[in-house]
Structure 1
Amino acid sequence: MKTKSPIFSVTSWVRRQPPKMKLFLALLSAMAAIMFLRMVVEDHNNLFVAAEVVHALGTCVLIYKLTKEKTCAGISLKSQELTALFLAVRLYCSFVMEYDIHTILDTATLVSTLWVIYMIRFKLMSTYMEDKDNFKIQYVVIPCAVLSLFAHPTTSHISFNRICWAFCVYLEAISVLPQLRLMQNIQIIEPFTAHYVFALGLARFLSSAHWVIQLFDTRVLLLIALGRGIWPCLVLLSEIVQTFILADFCYYYVKSILGGQLVVRLPADVV
């Protein structure tokens, strides 16, 4: 009789739990991971840098897929366009408000994202799943723009720059939704696209960990940097939303990798 592996036993037990228990386990695991990062990472600002690096590496995986396999199947053009938009706005804010290492990383990620868009639109359009990539991006861009007018930083920068900063934070939080909708439509995700989306999930978790740790360790300094009012709460909420949007996919990704599968198979209601 074949003995079941501990990993299989644990994942099977988790799948049998009711939704509220799964949510509790996810929150417990996330907090444990954040506490671990708090102990082992001396400069917590490095977590935000690491998040940007992971995002850039994920985009490099897409570039490898496009050049190696000559297909953009499974990649959401709309998500890439939303990513390019929030990166362009964030890069503008970085130039006029706080030129630093983040500016360099955002520039590299924006250039690589624009290259992905170019390849999909002009080189590999015949393999683009346009009928599956059917998320209406105006449903996320317009609400983000409106929200940024009413909830933005209260720092000393000019109003336009503060509104732009808020807009890119909100848009980044939900820019992955078209990609998730496409994956929900096709359900079987090939390796390179899966690696890219997992990289986004990991980047979002590291970014969330950065803000949560900053909130507990340097609350006063954080409020000085972000301003007061509802804005600091919305920044943290945006980071958490990004993480939980991708949590289900990351679970099935890890499960597939540990099970030795080359593709990720998603249930119809995973995203």
Structure 2
Amino acid sequence: MGTKTPIHAISMWVRRQPPKIKAILAVLAAMTTLVFLRMVVDDHDSLFVVAEAVHAIGISVLLYKLMKERTCTGLSLKSQELTALFLAVRLYCSFVMEYDIHTVLDTATLGTTLWVIYLIRFKLRSSYMDDKDNCAIYYVVIPCAILSLFIHPSTQHHLINRILWGFCVYLEAVSVLPQLRVMQNTKIVEPFTAHYVFALGVARFLSCAHWILQVLDTRGRLLTALGYGLWPSMVLLSEIVQTFILADFCYYYVKSLVGGQLVVRLPSGVV
């Protein structure tokens, strides 16, 4: 028998732990990473730019899969459409409320996402797993729309713009759910799709780390700057929700890499 590497031994130990212990370990790992980022990154605002760059890399991996392998097996068209929707709304809000570098990055990401949607819907339709992509979009969009009517920014901008801003924040937090549903239905995730979803997980964690560290750096003043009422807390909560939605998959992705597997195999009930 070959000698187990320390990483593999740790992975096996974690796997044997009950769910509560795994959850505690995940929180401790996240907190340790946050402390590390706070120590080594001088400008914490750059984490948000890095998060968007990682998202763009994930989209590029998707394009490579679609154009080189000529198949969209394992991909959720609905997740891509939800991504395009929240990016389009966020772009509109950026143009009328706070035009900056993020507007440029979102424009590039939206263009790439629309290209992915076009390829899946028209060029590679025969390989699209329509029966597996069965998460109804209105289950995702309607709750976000209703929530944004009641909890949105309290800035001086027009009410409609503030509601749209809230809507895109909430929709971004749950836009990956149809993709997770596809992976839950198939149980086996091929490499390129796995790389893409892992990139989303890393991007979401970096974005969440950006907000948490900014709040710590300003000693809570950032939340006050975002407005009053429940909105500041909902912004932070949305970032945390995005991270934890993808946390389980990221664990199995890393576990598969450590084990030398090309595909990610998910047990029942993971996502």
Task: Tell me the TM-score normalized by structure 1.
Answer: 0.98
Alignment partners' CA distance in 1, 2:24 and 2:100: 38
Structure 2 counterpart SS, 1:99: coil
Using the TM superposition, give the Cα deviation of residue 223 of structure 1 relative to its aligned residue in structure 2, in angstroms.
2.8
Alignment partners' CA distance in 1, 2:57 and 2:181: 22
**What aligned pairs does 1:46-125 form with structure 2 within 5 A after superposition?**
46-125=46-125
> Does the CA contact (< 8 Å) of 1:133 and 1:182 recur in 2?
yes
> Does the CA contact (< 8 Å) of 2:223 and 2:233 recur in 1?
no
Alignment deviations for residues 202-225 of structure 1 (CA, whole Å, 9 cap, x no partner): 000000001111111114541343
Alignment partners' CA distance in 1, 2:2 and 2:117: 48
Structure 1 counterpart SS, 2:135: coil
Structure 2 counterpart SS, 1:79: helix
Aligned sequence identity (%)? 74
**What aligned pairs does 1:108-147 form with structure 2 within 5 A after superposition?**
108-147=108-147
> Does the CA contact (< 8 Å) of 1:223 and 1:232 recur in 2?
yes
> Does the CA contact (< 8 Å) of 1:47 and 1:210 recur in 2?
yes
Alignment partners' CA distance in 2, 1:102 and 1:174: 20
> Does the CA contact (< 8 Å) of 1:89 and 1:168 recur in 2?
yes
Using the TM superposition, give the Cα deviation of residue 159 of structure 1 relative to its aligned residue in structure 2, in angstroms.
1.0
Using the TM superposition, give the Cα deviation of residue 140 of structure 1 relative to its aligned residue in structure 2, in angstroms.
1.0
Alignment partners' CA distance in 2, 1:225 and 1:81: 32
Give unmatched runs, 5+ long, in structure 2.
Answer: none
Task: Tell me the TM-score normalized by structure 2.
Answer: 0.98
Give unmatched runs, 5+ long, in structure 1.
Answer: none
Q: Tell me the matched-pair count.
A: 271
Structure 1 counterpart SS, 2:211: helix
Using the TM superposition, give the Cα deviation of residue 53 of structure 1 relative to its aligned residue in structure 2, in angstroms.
0.8
Moved over 4 A (4+): none
Query: 2:234 maps to which residue?
Result: 234
Bigger shift: 170-179 or 225-234? 225-234
Give 1:181's aligned amino acid.
R
Structure 1 counterpart SS, 2:130: coil
Alignment partners' CA distance in 2, 1:8 and 1:224: 45
Query: 1:4 maps to which residue?
Result: 4
Let me know the Cα RMSD of the aligned residues: 1.0
> Does the CA contact (< 8 Å) of 2:88 and 2:110 recur in 1?
yes
Alignment deviations for residues 117-149 of structure 1 (CA, whole Å, 9 cap, x no partner): 000011000000000000011011000000000
> Does the CA contact (< 8 Å) of 1:155 and 1:225 recur in 2?
no
Alignment partners' CA distance in 1, 2:223 and 2:236: 12
Alignment partners' CA distance in 1, 2:67 and 2:187: 24
Query: 1:16 maps to which residue?
Result: 16
Alignment partners' CA distance in 1, 2:126 and 2:220: 53
Alignment partners' CA distance in 2, 1:125 and 1:266: 26
Alignment partners' CA distance in 1, 2:100 and 2:154: 21
Alignment partners' CA distance in 2, 1:238 and 1:142: 16
Alignment partners' CA distance in 1, 2:205 and 2:266: 21
> Does the CA contact (< 8 Å) of 1:189 and 1:265 recur in 2?
yes
